[in-house]
């Protein structure tokens, strides 16, 4: 699959980091209490969704890079906004280091993510990103319902 890249490995990282930056700003917009208490339509709070995103991205990428299959689990649940933001930043740094250990040729190898999702690594990574965008879009509705203006979607 030697070809002219439609997107390079470094560009895909930049794209993901741009989304992580936007998601961080969405978390920041929530008042502390509302992050863990407010929801619509009997859905999870945005704090719970953030815990899911935290449990997927870096744990998933760690498994991919180290070739270690571990079950999905929200082992550490973060219950304050300050903790969530701290782990978010820490994971962003870890993500960059993990990314540097991936080679272009790895992206088409399959990996049994969380012992459940046996797909090419590129598919797993795109899922990490689109699942984040999906839930963050829901966070936008929560913010609007709270009368809070969300960040501009196109600012990464």
Tokens of 123: 């598919």
* Shortest distance in whole angstroms from residue 40 CB to a copy of itself: 6
**Does residue 105 interact with a copy of itself by CB under 8 A?**
yes
User: Tokens 């550490």 — which residue?
Assistant: 76
* CA dist., res. 132 & res. 49, Å (int): 9
In the complex with a copy of itself, which residue's Cβ is closer, 8 or 80? 8
* CA dist., res. 83 & res. 18, Å (int): 21
| Interface characters, 17-46, with a copy of itself (x: CB under 8 A) | --x--------------------xxxx---
**Does residue 5 interact with a copy of itself by CB under 8 A?**
yes
**Does residue 3 interact with a copy of itself by CB under 8 A?**
yes
Q: Rounded to the nearest 5°, which phi and psi values hold at 103? A: -105, 155
Q: How many residues does the chain have?
A: 156
In the complex with a copy of itself, which residue's Cβ is closer, 5 or 100? 5
Please, which of residues 137-156 interact with a copy of itself by CB under 8 A? Answer: 137-138, 140-141, 144-145, 153-154
Please, which of residues 70-99 interact with a copy of itself by CB under 8 A? Answer: none
**Does residue 118 interact with a copy of itself by CB under 8 A?**
no
Residues 6+ apart with CB under 8 A from 45: 35, 36, 37, 38, 39
* CA dist., res. 63 & res. 43, Å (int): 29
Tokens of 84: 């969530």
Q: Which residues bind a copy of itself (CB under 8 A)?
A: 1-9, 11-12, 15, 19, 40-43, 103-105, 107, 122, 126-127, 130-131, 133-138, 140-141, 144-145, 153-154
């Amino acid at each position: 699959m030697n070809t002219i890249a439609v997107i390079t490995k470094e560009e895909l990282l930049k794209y993901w980091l741009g989304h992580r930056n936007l998601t961080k700003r969405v978390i920041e917009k929530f008042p502390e209490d509302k992050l863990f208490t407010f929801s619509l339509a009997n859905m999870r709070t945005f704090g719970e969704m953030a815990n899911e995103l935290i449990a997927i991205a870096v744990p998933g990428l760690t498994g991919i890079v180290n070739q270690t299959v571990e079950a999905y689990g929200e082992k550490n649940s973060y219950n304050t906004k300050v903790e969530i933001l701290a782990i978010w930043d820490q994971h962003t740094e870890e993500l960059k280091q993990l990314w540097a250990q991936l080679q272009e040729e790895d992206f088409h190898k399959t990996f049994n993510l969380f012992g459940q999702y046996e797909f090419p690594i590129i598919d797993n990574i795109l899922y990490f990103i689109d699942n984040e965008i999906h839930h963050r879009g829901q966070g936008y509705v929560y913010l609007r319902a709270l009368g809070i203006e969300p960040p501009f979607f196109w600012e990464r």
